[in-house]
Structure 1
Amino acid sequence: MTTLSPEQQAIIDAPLDPLSVVACAGSGKTLTAVRRLIEVRKRLGDHRGRVALLSFSNVAVKTFQSKYQALAQNLPAGIGRDRIEIDTLDGFITSNILRPHAYRTMGTTRTAFLVMGNEPFLKRFTFKVSYSLEEESHPLCITKMHIGLQTEDVCFYYANNNQKVALDTAYALNIVNCLGRNGAYTHNLGRYWCHRVLSEQPAILRALARRYPHILIDESQDINTLHQAILEQLMKAGTKISLIGDPSQGIYEFAGANCDFLTQYEQRPAIKNYALTRNYRSVPSIVELANNLSGRSDTADRAAPETLPGAFFIAYKNENAERERLVAAFGAAVLAAGLKRQCSAILCRGRGDLLNELSGNAPIGQGLVKGFAKAAILRDKLQDYLSAFETIASCVAGLLADPPDNLVAMITRPASYPEARSLRREVWKFTRNQDTGLPSALLAAKSRWHTLLLERSRNFLALLQDRFDLETADNLGRKLAKTKLLDAPLMVGGDLVTAQDARIRVDTVHQVKGESLDAVLYLAARKDVVALLGGVKTEEGRIGYVAVTRARNLLWLGVPANSLEELRPELLSRGFQEHLLSPSHP
């Protein structure tokens, strides 16, 4: 895409009113949103207010920032180039509301800090709930407590995978307030405290609305009820909010994001409505498939390339060797089509399923050892160093005698705790270095891997005590027991991604949302395929739709072989082609 379409130009040139933009996948939202951001700031002239462009992932934010920097180089200095803010929505409310102002509402004297869920002090705040009248109550993790708004009333529930359990409001509020008095919040509780700050400290709300007269929000289908409540507060105080998104890509319903704010926003009288209906990302056959799944009628801008493009389904047996053969065939197809393996991905439904599959469903320990094993798999199998680092930070805190309550936040949040740079560097070294830090997941777990983990953890903890006065807890050997480890590599069955295809990324659908990929292999279970074919009316169906629409040129859908006969007719009718995996393929 080298020139702006009439649809895109209309959005950029729209009046300085709040907008509702419903956009299809691959519609050039990034370029349109950044140019609209520049245009709004330009029209504000000498007004000292800032214009914010917000999204929901760090990947999206970096893309926006890169595009803005490229465009801003040619802008005149007088249009307020320094009065632009690009961030995640949670990052925006954290930096503007939560960290500077929430301590007063929380009833604490310390700056609020984020907890990841494994901090030792949180053991005092585990809570219990019964899944049914017949079952006993189970201790639950505070990070899985979710908060929503029903009309004006706050409600609390526990969400674990697809299971939701309502919590007694008074009981949940007591836990939340106790945590607040410690200055601690989870991602979900942070939004709750922001809403309360704006309600109980109206001067902060007025100042924030003056500072940000215009806010644009990308991926608006991911706004949950608490996000919406905060945005409604800002709108009442005078901020003009513009929403850009695609309801067909709403895949965070489990976190309270049901697309209602986006789909109903256009009905408000002061809102100007626009649409983006041209797909610049995918080849025509993938766009046609996406239209068949979503009921849309978007247009493909690209012509079909000469190399074999399109959407295919391919049967596989749920066995390690068969999955590896499928992955090898996919890697060969990517090369044959002249595509880049480093710009392609193998996708699975969920992180838990992915880790189980990559570890061959082998027992990987318990307690802190299980955390270290998980980090090794994240690093060595998924190449996900950040998640491995965050997991290690929580495990290390669990090995200390009396760590600061905010230690994990200090290690994992560099922008909030610049003074912890040296400590953070040492944790990164331990995470990344297989020779002196976290042992390789290819080693036999119970004997070699565990022996090295114990030895290196002792050395690392001695360093932390010497340099940072962080005292090691007693009974280290018991905390790092080898219980439930097998004497086999953590990565059972060899690499899912072979050395030949080492640059092909393995990830979840949620992690690649918002990205464009040359080729995608969606490794699906039967229920995932059924949901995909059912369209975008359910969250599971939308997850499949997101996987499909990431692909620029080549899409493979891995279908369980025992479900193929049942599913083949509808797969063909939707626009997939069948691809056969040769028995002789390596």
Structure 2
Amino acid sequence: MIESSAEQFQIIGAPIAPMSVIACAGSGKTFTAVRRLAEMRRQLGDQRGRIALLSFSNIAVNTFRREYQNLIRSEFAGIAYGRVEIDTLDGFITSNVLCPHAYRTMGCDRAPFLVAGTEPFLRNRDFKFWAEPVGRPAFPVRPTDLHKIVVNFQAGRPRYDLRSQNTLIPINNGATVISRLGALGAYTHDMGRYWCHRTLARQPGVLRALARRYPHILIDEAQDVGTVHQAIIEQLIGAGSQVSLIGDPNQGIYEFAGADGTFLARYGQRAGVTCLGLTRNYRSVPAVLDLANRLSARADAAHRVAPETTHGAFFAPYRNTDVENLVAAFQAAVLAADLKVERSAVLCRGRTMADKLSGSEGAPGQGTVKGFAQAAILRDRNKDYRGAFKLVVAGIVGLLADPPHGLAARIAQPARSSDDRALRRIIWAFTRDPESGLPAATLTANAQWHKLMLERTRALLAKTAQLHGLVSIGNLGNKLARTGLPNAPMIAAADLAANAAARIRADTVHQAKGESLDAVLYLTAKKEHASALLAGVDTEVGRIGYVAVTRARNLIWLGVPANSLEELRPVLISRGFQEAGAAEQA
């Protein structure tokens, strides 16, 4: 996309005022948002204050930063582009509220720190959350599941739940434990949002200063705004910030956090908010867009024309016992359509199925050793270096005698301080290199792999002690025992060789959100999931299906449980799907 469309130009050049932009999938939101940001900065001239462009993932933020810098160099040279901040919404509140100001509200004597769930102090019973399902005994939440503790606002009051699969289980001591953690300065992402809201409520001077510093805020992917984020945004609006939202309510798939797209959908109805839209899809071929329009009751226009190769929407039945055959047939169809396997994906609703298909469903060993083994498998079989790195960080920090609070979270995320960056590089090198770092998963696990892992981990810990003063525990041999490791490789050499050829990625719909993929196979594990997709976007399950469909540029396959195909076939065809066997003639 080189030139702005009429719709995009209307948004980019609009007067500076609160705005609601409802954008269809593939409509060039990044292109539009970056140019709107630059135009706002140009219109403001030398006026004080900054403009913030906020989103929900580091990938999106990195894209915005790169595109904005390129745009400034090529088209907007000379404007005060330094008065712009591009970050995640959580990064924005962390740097502006949590780190500098929240300690007073939390009652701690240090800068607050993010916990990863592996910190030893979290095993103290005073920091134990208790989940209490209706009609069942309460049970403690494992520290490693702290990230599953969800904070929501209902009628202005916080509610605490444990997210388990697709349900929320009430926490019966949420306020108490969050306050105890807060007194130490500890928080998770959800708790951080809670503390940000309380800080702005209890320290009105901070809120006023923040609104003066950021009089204009653009929020991308605004359908992902949950109840606590919404409460923070309302505080900023009340203090004088002008907020604009950009997104697609039909892609609101984080209902557990209250992010169902409702806030975005209703924002344009407020007095003083300009409501505009983006209705041209630059991503999908007409046949895929027609399906998306039927599901969402929209009438978006396709920018692309139909290619001569196979394209469109197809369905195929499968049983759990032959899902690999369906994946293989889909991969063959991707290649036959002259599409890229590495730019295509099998998408699932749940992590369990995605892990099973990607070969990431488990690793041998116990405790820290199991984490290192899983990291080796992710790296060697799946080429998932990021996932491997997070596991190695958790393992290494868990082997330290007295790690600084928040160290694991600081290392696992893009490091801000020079000391964190240096330590991050050391652990990253250990993770990536099977020759001198984490051993290859093709070695015999309980002999070769374990011996090398123990030797190299000791060497890494000695290096961190020498360079960073981080002392390891004294019983490494016991902590890194070979218990549970098989007398065989964790990955067979033949499997690794097979994976050397391009193997299609398997992931969840939530992880693929925001991506543009050549082809998508969406696996519906139950008839109810397929039915919800076909029924449209009024439910979260339907919206999850809609997101899967709208990721596809050329080809979407729907995997339907074989025992429900007869009932669903008429609805599938009426929605625009074809039998997968017809793909060869399409």
The TM-score, its normalising length taken from structure 2, stands at: 0.91
Q: Say whether the 8 Å CA contact 2:254–2:260 is kept in structure 1.
A: yes
What aligned pairs does 1:473-488 form with structure 2 within 5 A after superposition? 473-487=473-487
Q: Which deviates more from structure 2 when the two are superposed, residues 128-137 or residues 511-520?
A: 128-137
Aligned to 2:83: 83
Q: Say whether the 8 Å CA contact 2:52–2:217 is kept in structure 1.
A: yes
Q: Say whether the 8 Å CA contact 1:360–1:492 is kept in structure 2.
A: no
Secondary structure (helix, strand or coil) at the match of 2:158 reads strand
Q: Structure 1 residues 2, 410: closer, same or farther in 2, change over 3 A? A: closer
Q: Say whether the 8 Å CA contact 1:360–1:493 is kept in structure 2.
A: no
Q: Structure 1 residues 574, 376: closer, same or farther in 2, change over 3 A? A: farther
Q: Which deviates more from structure 2 when the two are superposed, residues 364-373 or residues 505-514?
A: 364-373
**Counterparts of 2:201 and 2:404, CA distance in 1:** 31
Q: Say whether the 8 Å CA contact 1:11–1:32 is kept in structure 2.
A: yes
**Counterparts of 1:312 and 1:442, CA distance in 2:** 38
Provide the aligned C-alpha RMSD in A.
2.6
Q: Which deviates more from structure 2 when the two are superposed, residues 272-281 or residues 398-407?
A: 398-407
**Counterparts of 2:530 and 2:379, CA distance in 1:** 29
Aligned to 1:67: 67
**Counterparts of 2:413 and 2:202, CA distance in 1:** 27
Q: Say whether the 8 Å CA contact 1:18–1:242 is kept in structure 2.
A: yes
Q: Structure 1 residues 520, 494: closer, same or farther in 2, change over 3 A? A: farther
**Counterparts of 1:134 and 1:500, CA distance in 2:** 48
Aligned-pair CA distance for 1:438: 2.3
Aligned-pair CA distance for 1:235: 0.6
Q: Which deviates more from structure 2 when the two are superposed, residues 473-482 or residues 2-11?
A: 473-482
**Counterparts of 2:83 and 2:13, CA distance in 1:** 20
- Aligned residues: percent identity? 57
What aligned pairs does 1:175-574 form with structure 2 within 5 A after superposition? 175-319=177-321, 322-359=322-359, 364-446=364-446, 448-487=448-487, 489-490=489-490, 498-499=498-499, 501-502=501-502, 504-526=504-526, 527-574=528-575
Instruction: Name the amino acid aligned to 1:531.
Output: A
Q: Which deviates more from structure 2 when the two are superposed, residues 139-148 or residues 50-59?
A: 139-148
Q: Structure 1 residues 218, 151: closer, same or farther in 2, change over 3 A? A: same
Q: Structure 1 residues 149, 136: closer, same or farther in 2, change over 3 A? A: closer
Q: Deviations over 1:339-383 (max 9, x none)?
A: 233322232323343224434856634432332233233323432
Q: Say whether the 8 Å CA contact 2:130–2:171 is kept in structure 1.
A: no
Instruction: Name the amino acid aligned to 1:546.
Output: V
Aligned-pair CA distance for 1:443: 4.3
Q: Say whether the 8 Å CA contact 1:328–1:501 is kept in structure 2.
A: no
Q: Say whether the 8 Å CA contact 2:26–2:284 is kept in structure 1.
A: yes
Q: Structure 1 residues 218, 485: closer, same or farther in 2, change over 3 A? A: same
Q: Structure 1 residues 495, 545: closer, same or farther in 2, change over 3 A? A: farther
**Counterparts of 2:196 and 2:170, CA distance in 1:** 22
Q: Say whether the 8 Å CA contact 1:445–1:485 is kept in structure 2.
A: yes
**Counterparts of 1:234 and 1:248, CA distance in 2:** 26
Aligned to 2:157: 153
Aligned-pair CA distance for 1:485: 4.6
**Counterparts of 1:108 and 1:25, CA distance in 2:** 44
Q: Say whether the 8 Å CA contact 2:309–2:337 is kept in structure 1.
A: yes
Aligned-pair CA distance for 1:66: 2.3
The TM-score, its normalising length taken from structure 1, stands at: 0.91
Secondary structure (helix, strand or coil) at the match of 1:79 reads coil
**Counterparts of 1:266 and 1:417, CA distance in 2:** 40
Instruction: Name the amino acid aligned to 1:146.
Output: V
Q: Say whether the 8 Å CA contact 1:324–1:497 is kept in structure 2.
A: no
**Counterparts of 1:420 and 1:519, CA distance in 2:** 39
Q: Structure 1 residues 358, 450: closer, same or farther in 2, change over 3 A? A: farther
Secondary structure (helix, strand or coil) at the match of 2:521 reads strand
**Counterparts of 1:381 and 1:93, CA distance in 2:** 37
Instruction: Name the amino acid aligned to 2:107.
Output: G
Instruction: Name the amino acid aligned to 1:201.
Output: Q
**Counterparts of 1:423 and 1:273, CA distance in 2:** 47
Aligned-pair CA distance for 1:492: 8.0
**Counterparts of 1:580 and 1:446, CA distance in 2:** 47
